[in-house]
């Protein structure tokens, strides 16, 4: 949440920026102080404090304070934000699953169907012309890129995934108009991915970026698929964010498969038949 505020500051009005800087300077105090005290400390009016909360995507001050209090609670670093040190295994089970389900439902309600539709159109158009679809990611996102390549490969798409920065840059240099690249990143701040995305876009390829709102990568692509979840990329292992990326890939693959239409069915049946002798009866 604090990273989101930092990323949003340049786009805010000067008065709202002062409120944002006050949050960043002492988030715990901000979550507990009354609006009049917050307005005095930021040298703004009380309505400006509320406007700031709404400008960065919250319903109002109460909603913002509630989310802020949860965001600055320590939990268990590098494991899971909602888990506490003294939690039993049964507590961990419930918290991890509930946190994931809540994130999925939030994404369902917040996702931009317009952006997803544009991404599906770009991917389907690339498939129809026989051009290349490539997936780039590093670390956890590199695993998501491999999963995406596996999903689209089964559709008969000319596709590949790269998780090495040098390979991404070299491959992006060979792309051109009609090609499509999907760049996946939890933080949206990985230098190799930014470089590869810039190269692909300059060469005329369609660039789809799947990353956090407000990150540098979010504005670097032609199409931005927002994947926002309050996991600090520098402090927590991106569990739910990774799962959100996988869900978005499933949505894209399913929608593209529907665009391909009935001719895909014989291909999938033949593939399944050919795999049967790989399994024990």
The domain spans of the chain are 1-73, 111-273
Round to whole Å and give the CA distance between 98 and 101.
5
Residue pair 209/217 in contact by the 8 Å Cβ criterion: yes
Round to whole Å and give the CA distance between 80 and 75.
7
**Per-residue pLDDT tens for 49-67?**
999 999 888 888 988 888 7
Per-residue pLDDT, averaged over 59-87, amounts to 70
Architecture of domain 1-73: Orthogonal Bundle (1.10)
- Tell me the CATH number of domain 111-273, given options 1.10.3720.10, 3.40.50.1820, 3.40.50.10490, 3.90.1150.10: 3.40.50.10490
pLDDT attached to residue 233: 55
Instruction: Record the pTM.
Output: 0.70
User: How sure is the predictor about 45, in pLDDT bands with cuts at 50, 70 and 90?
Assistant: very high
Per-residue pLDDT, averaged over 178-205, amounts to 96
Integer CA distances (angstroms), 82 to 7, 79, 105, in order: 23, 9, 17
């Amino acid at each position: 949440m604090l990273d989101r505020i930092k990323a949003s500051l340049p786009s805010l009005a000067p008065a709202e920026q002062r409120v944002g800087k006050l949050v960043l300077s002492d988030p715990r105090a901000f979550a507990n102080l009354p609006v009049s005290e917050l307005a005095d400390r930021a040298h703004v009016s009380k309505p400006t404090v509320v406007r700031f909360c709404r400008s960065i995507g919250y319903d109002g001050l109460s909603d913002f304070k509630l989310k802020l209090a949860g965001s600055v609670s320590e939990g268990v670093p590098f494991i899971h934000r909602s888990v506490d040190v003294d939690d039993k295994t049964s507590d961990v089970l419930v918290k991890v699953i509930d946190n994931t389900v809540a994130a999925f439902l939030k994404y369902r309600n917040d996702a931009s169907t317009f952006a997803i539709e544009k991404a599906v159109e770009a991917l389907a158009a690339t498939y129809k012309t026989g051009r290349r679809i490539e997936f780039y990611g590093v670390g956890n996102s590199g695993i998501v890129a491999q999963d995406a390549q596996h999903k689209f490969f089964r559709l008969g798409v000319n596709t590949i995934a790269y998780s090495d920065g040098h390979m991404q840059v070299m491959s992006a240099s060979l792309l051109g108009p009609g090609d499509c690249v999907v760049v996946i990143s939890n933080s949206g701040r990985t230098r190799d991915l930014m470089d590869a995305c810039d190269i692909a876009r300059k060469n005329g390829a369609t660039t789809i970026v799947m990353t956090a709102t407000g990150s540098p990568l979010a504005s670097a692509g032609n199409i931005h698929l927002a994947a926002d979840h309050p996991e600090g990329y520098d402090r927590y292992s991106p569990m739910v964010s990774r799962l959100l990326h996988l869900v978005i890939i499933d949505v894209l693959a399913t929608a593209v498969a529907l665009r391909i239409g009935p001719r895909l069915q014989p291909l999938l049946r033949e593939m399944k038949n050919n795999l049967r002798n790989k399994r024990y009866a």
